Amino acid sequence: MECYPRLKLVAADKIGKDEMGRLHIVVGHKPPHTVLALDGELDVATAPHLDDAFVRECEAGYRKVILDVGALRFCDSYGLRMLLRLQDRCVADGGRMVLADTRGMLARVLNLTGLERALVQFETVERAAAEL
């Protein structure tokens, strides 16, 4: 799988797949950024996998985190809370977390809940990397 070819990532690995196959996480690195690409459903059952991946990246020293959410097909209130919690954790550690490719279902959910102003969003991963 070619992941973000325009970013020329140093590494890209599939690191997470929940037991039901509902959330796939691909992590790519282009120092000082790390990109976590989410594919599937972010909910109460799958959010801990995102949390684990996020913590690993922060512990590895990455403070500029891009969550590529373009392939998310579902996000419940627990998933939204997880996104806010991860952003808060990143800021507390002196970093920054942004969303990329926010469209479709997630854009509607963020708009309906008023969270579109609480989470920084960019149209593409490339744009997010350029701005961070």
Using one digit for the tens of pLDDT, what is the confidence trace for 60-69? 999 999 999 9
CATH number at residue 88: 3.30.750.24
Nearest to 122 by CA among 47, 65, 74: 65
131's tokens: 């701005």
**What was the pLDDT predicted at 30?**
81
Range of the domain at 102: 5-131
Domain count, the chain: 1
Q: How many other C-beta atoms lie within 10 A of the C-beta of residue 114?
A: 8
The structure's pTM equals 0.84
